[in-house]
Amino acid sequence: MKIHIKNGHLIDPKNKIDTKRDVYIAAGKIAGIGSVPDGFVANQTIDATGLVVAPGFVDLSARLREPGFEHKATLKSELLAAAAGGITSLACPPDTDPVLDEPGLVEMLKHRAKQLNLAHVYPLGALTRQLEGKLLTEMCELTEAGCVGFSQADMAITDTQVLWRAFEYAATFGYTIFLRAEDYYLAKDGVAHDGEIASRLGLKGIPAAAESLAIASILRIAHETSTRVHLCRLSTAEGVELVRTAKKQGVQVSADVSAQHCHLTDHDVGYFNAQANLKPPLRSPRDKAALCQGLKDGTIDAICSDHTPVDDDAKLLPFAEAEAGATGLELLLPLTLKWATDNKSTSFDAIAKITSQPANILGISGGHLSLNADADIAIFNASQEWKVDANQLKSQGKNTPFLGLTLAGRVQYTLLHGQITYQNS
Amino acid sequence: MHNPQLDANGKLKHLLTIEGLPKKILTQILDSAESFVGVAERDIKKVPLLRGKTVCNIFFENSTRTRTTFEIAAKRLSADVINLNVGTSSQSKGETILDTVDNLIAMHADMFVVRHGQSGAVHFIAQHVPDNISVINAGDGRHAHPTQGLLDVFTVRRYKPDMHNLRVALVGDVLHSRVARSEIHALTTLGVPEVRVIAPKTLLPAGVEKLGVQVFHDMKTGLKDVDVIMMLRLQNERMTGALLPSAQEYFKTFGLTQEKLSYAKPDAIVMHPGPMNRGVEIESHVADGSQSVILPQVTYGIAVRMAVMAILAGRQAGGGA
């Protein structure tokens, strides 16, 4: 199968391309950029006039809910959503049921994803057994089974001795640790940013210090043990500043932010809107501004969808009882483009945050369109507006704070290994 | 942002919180309550304003006092009253909050009086009831207890009619108190120029000063020259642990004694939403003393709740109140 994508505007951050170029695909690989390979005769031509052609997006955090939570989502429903969102590679956290702490489970997940052939699924293995923060998992075995790093999902390791040893052990083999930094005790039972809004609404707060204290410890341990650490979903200004300083000091640290947190604050909780119940909590406007600035100056490397499908029964409850999380795969592109527009950044920089940068962090081959690379491609209309409508979302998770809002940026085609996995009708 | 308590004409549809309510509506409720104070002093304590209406008290959290005053208020307005203690029935059987509410809607109640342990639960119910049902918040988590806030300012207004020239201090556990939040909003909305909170830092919520209050950590400076002292209840489970070392130390530092009362103006009034912990937040001598208006608060509570119900029923009938 040979495909010619013609007249599109190619944005490939890794190869520093941001111009009009045709793309030629043969045998699932990139066969040519800009010039026709010798003897190339296309079986199919995609007219990308007025569209952007980019590497398929790479998402650092997408919960697929399998195994264990199939009533919330299935691998198939969520990978279809990923394709509709232009995402061709995604990392999934280990907080499934059972937890991804056994090589057999990881192999099964990889196998199921491969059969569906809608996106590359890169599991993050559990850093500790059952995510209990006590015993280390078999990291080498898990890596052989397909894990690209190790994570505690939303569970904290409260025992600093265990945390230290987990870092040392991972560093032994050069593995990356993915942590969402949050002090367990300061965050306990909290549901909203500890500030004026939570105080007014009488919601139990999670202070910003819950994040900055945890980041300070993690960065110190990463530095002492020479471990590569990725901080997931920063939410505070202090957190961004700590990462900025650590990077200057040469700590091997990278960081991401969720697409929601680039746009929303605790003010969006309004009158107890459970859609705005997220983890980490939506924080103050000052924090949001620092996150956006951190993205711009490179302190924050990537934007993730933090895709967390939540069923209606779990959302249709008073704010504090509602399950945290929002669907995000199909919103990653428009929310990332909107970050660029709102912060006077470029589409090129925005696309880097969801392609080459997260691919680097995961240490995977995707996220660029070099010659002979896998033809994982997203073709989108950057200005096409669409309304976020629960009935139109492919994901089984229909809950998001952006429901009913109009966003710009619509994927037209997604290709995986040179095969069209999604086409906007 | 749309205020869920008001209808398209700006009339009170539900009473969920004092925050965001216009001064005009608060004054309307207080003025209307004045007329109901008289009803309780008559031989026949009934008016027919809610005749044929059904008021349903839904208490997801146990309470005797508040439920009783709502029940008396509804009955004096000639309504039929149903009491439901959900805390002890449906919830333990796994029924969701919406299931419970849907069942009561099917029984054609006209007004729900709801108490729930979670902040925001009453807003949540108000969002899911049909247009002809009004919801009154009888206390949700730490968020709001608007009728308590109203009866407290009603009491203040009765004893200190010049609200624009008052200094009011709230003392105690503001962090966990829905009463404190409602009192603060009611006082500031009605134009009280100086509202203070006095508490240890462990019992104050983040950014409390943004609610429009001045923060004090000791009674001597905090109570200086105040006209009204509003004591807050300290729950038993918070008296020891990491919030406070002991009830004794709390009483010593923040309990209202005759001596500390002397820092306030000589004619200052002392209030408490009840139930009191004598010897913890307040000394009996003060609670029962000449400056205490704690029992009048209870009496006025019924009049204020009657006023709220009458105004909501008036809107349901299509007219004003």
Is residue A125 within 8 Å of A184, Cβ to Cβ?
no
Q: Using 50, 70 and 90 to split pLDDT, how confident is the model at B217? A: very high
Q: Do B1 and A321 touch (CB under 8 A)?
A: no
Q: What is the rounded average pLDDT of the residues A99-103? A: 97
The single-letter DSSP state of residue B164 is: G
Q: Which residues pair with A254 in a beta bridge?
A: A230
Q: Which residues pair with A256 in a beta bridge?
A: A302
A12-49 per-residue burial string, b: 16 or more CB within 10 A, e: under 16: bbbbebbeebbbbbbebebbbbeeeeeeeebeeebebe
Same-domain status, B194 and B292? yes
Nearest CB to B123; choose among A272, A317, A321:
A272
CB atoms within 10 A of CB B203: 22
Q: What is the rounded average pLDDT of the residues A163-174? A: 98
| Interatomic CA distance for residues A410 and B213, integer angstroms | 48
Interface test with B, best of A193, A236, A272 (most B CBs within 10 A): A272
Q: Helices B146-159 and B294-316 sit at what angle, rounded to 10 degrees?
A: 120
Same-domain status, B176 and B49? no
Same-domain status, B109 and B220? no
Is a pLDDT exceeding 90 seen at residue B171?
A: yes
Q: Determine contact: A318 vs chain B, CB below 8 A.
A: yes
Question: For position B200, which CATH number holds?
Answer: 3.40.50.1370
Q: Do A319 and B141 touch (CB under 8 A)?
A: no
Interface test with A, best of B1, B124, B203 (most A CBs within 10 A): B124
Q: What is the rounded average pLDDT of the residues A325-342? A: 98
Q: Using 50, 70 and 90 to split pLDDT, how confident is the model at B88? A: low
Q: What is the rounded average pLDDT of the residues B261-282? A: 96
Q: Do B118 and A207 touch (CB under 8 A)?
A: no
Tell me, yes or no, whether B119 lies in a domain. Answer: yes
Q: Whole-model pTM? A: 0.94
Helix, coil or strand: residue B45: coil
Is residue A370 within 8 Å of A58, Cβ to Cβ?
no
Q: Using 50, 70 and 90 to split pLDDT, how confident is the model at A303? A: very high
The residues, any chain, with a CB within 8 Å of residue A178's CB and separated by 6 or more, are A60, A91, A93, A124, A149, A150, A151, A229, A230, A232
- A363 sits in the region (left: phi over 0; alpha: psi -120 to 50; else beta) called left
Same-domain status, B29 and B127? yes
Q: Do B19 and A200 touch (CB under 8 A)?
A: yes
Q: Do B181 and A202 touch (CB under 8 A)?
A: yes
Task: Give me the amino acid identity at A364.
Answer: I
Same-domain status, B292 and B182? yes
Tell me, yes or no, whether B287 lies in a domain. Answer: yes
Is a pLDDT exceeding 50 seen at residue A277?
A: yes
User: For the segment A46-62, what is each residue's pLDDT rounded down to a tens digit?
Assistant: 999 999 999 999 999 99
Q: What percent of chain B has pLDDT over 90?
A: 82
Is a pLDDT exceeding 80 seen at residue A246?
A: yes
Nearest CB to B207; choose among A199, A316, A320:
A199
Is a pLDDT exceeding 50 seen at residue B320?
A: no
Q: Which domains does chain A have, with CATH numbers?
A: 56-362 (3.20.20.140)
| Interatomic CA distance for residues B310 and B321, integer angstroms | 7
Tell me, yes or no, whether B234 lies in a domain. Answer: yes
- Start-to-end C-alpha separation, chain A: 22
Tell me, yes or no, whether B153 lies in a domain. Answer: yes
Q: Determine contact: A348 vs chain B, CB below 8 A.
A: no
Same-domain status, B155 and B274? yes
Q: Helices B146-159 and B23-40 sit at what angle, rounded to 10 degrees?
A: 70
| Interatomic CA distance for residues A94 and B158, integer angstroms | 62
Is a pLDDT exceeding 60 seen at residue B321?
A: no
Chain A: give the shortest CA distance to residue B256, in Å: 25
Q: Using 50, 70 and 90 to split pLDDT, how confident is the model at B63? A: confident
Q: Tell me the average pLDDT of chain B.
A: 93
Tell me, yes or no, whether B82 lies in a domain. Answer: yes
Same-domain status, B310 and B212? no
Which pLDDT score is estimated for B245?
A: 92
What Cα–Cα distance (Å) separates residue B254 from each residue in A42, B19, B156, B276, B278?
A: 83, 27, 22, 14, 13
Q: Do A203 and B119 touch (CB under 8 A)?
A: yes
Q: Determine contact: A194 vs chain B, CB below 8 A.
A: yes
- Which residues in B lie closer than 8 A to residue A318 (C-beta atoms)? 97, 116, 118-121, 123-124
| Interatomic CA distance for residues A191 and A197, integer angstroms | 12
Which pLDDT score is estimated for B44?
A: 87
Domain count, chain B: 2
Tell me, yes or no, whether B10 lies in a domain. Answer: no
Backbone phi, psi, residue A217, to 5°: -65, -45
Q: What is the rounded average pLDDT of the residues A272-301? A: 98
Please give the interface size between A and B, counted as residue pairs whose CB atoms are below 8 Å apart.
Answer: 72
ipTM: 0.92
Which pLDDT score is estimated for B89?
A: 57
- A411 sits in the region (left: phi over 0; alpha: psi -120 to 50; else beta) called beta
The single-letter DSSP state of residue A282 is: P
Tell me, yes or no, whether B60 lies in a domain. Answer: yes
Q: Using 50, 70 and 90 to split pLDDT, how confident is the model at B39? A: confident
Tell me, yes or no, whether B16 lies in a domain. Answer: no
Same-domain status, B280 and B150? yes
Residue positions of A annotated with a catalytic role: 306
* Domain span including residue B78: 23-144+299-316
The single-letter DSSP state of residue A124 is: P
Q: Lowest-pLDDT range, B15-24, B70-79, B253-262, B311-320?
A: B311-320
Same-domain status, B157 and B293? yes
| Interatomic CA distance for residues A73 and A61, integer angstroms | 15
What Cα–Cα distance (Å) separates residue B145 from each residue in B34, B36, B229?
A: 20, 21, 18
- Start-to-end C-alpha separation, chain B: 26
Q: What is the rounded average pLDDT of the residues B108-124? A: 95
Helix, coil or strand: residue B282: strand
Same-domain status, B91 and B174? no
Q: Shortest CA distance to A269 belongs to which of A369, A196, A374, A162?
A: A196
Q: Shortest CA distance to A22 belongs to which of A43, A49, A60?
A: A49
Which pLDDT score is estimated for B1?
A: 58
Same-domain status, B154 and B227? yes
Is residue B137 within 8 Å of B17, Cβ to Cβ?
yes
Tokens of B154: 């009603």
Cβ under 8 Å to B: A residues 225-284:
270-272, 274
- Which residues in A lie closer than 8 A to residue B140 (C-beta atoms)? 202
| Interatomic CA distance for residues B85 and B91, integer angstroms | 10
The CA R_g of chain A, rounded to the nearest whole Å, is: 21
- Which residues in A lie closer than 8 A to residue B208 (C-beta atoms)? 199
| Interatomic CA distance for residues B32 and B16, integer angstroms | 19
Q: Using 50, 70 and 90 to split pLDDT, how confident is the model at A140? A: very high
Q: What percent of chain A has pLDDT over 90?
A: 98
| Interatomic CA distance for residues A261 and A273, integer angstroms | 16
Q: Do B143 and A317 touch (CB under 8 A)?
A: no
- The dihedral over CA atoms of A38, A39, A45, A51, expressed in degrees to the nearest 10, equals 0
Sheet of strand A57-59: strand arrangement: A57-59, A87-92, A120-123
DSSP letter string over B195-223? Answer: EEEE--GGGS-TTGGGGS-EEESSHHHHS
Q: What is the rounded average pLDDT of the residues A131-157? A: 98
The single-letter DSSP state of residue A56 is: P
Q: Determine contact: A205 vs chain B, CB below 8 A.
A: yes
Q: Shortest CA distance to A232 belongs to which of A289, A300, A171?
A: A300
Q: Lowest-pLDDT range, A397-406, B53-62, B139-148?
A: B53-62
Is residue B276 within 8 Å of B294, Cβ to Cβ?
yes
Is a pLDDT exceeding 50 seen at residue B4?
A: yes
Same-domain status, B267 and B151? yes
Interface test with A, best of B13, B118, B232 (most A CBs within 10 A): B118
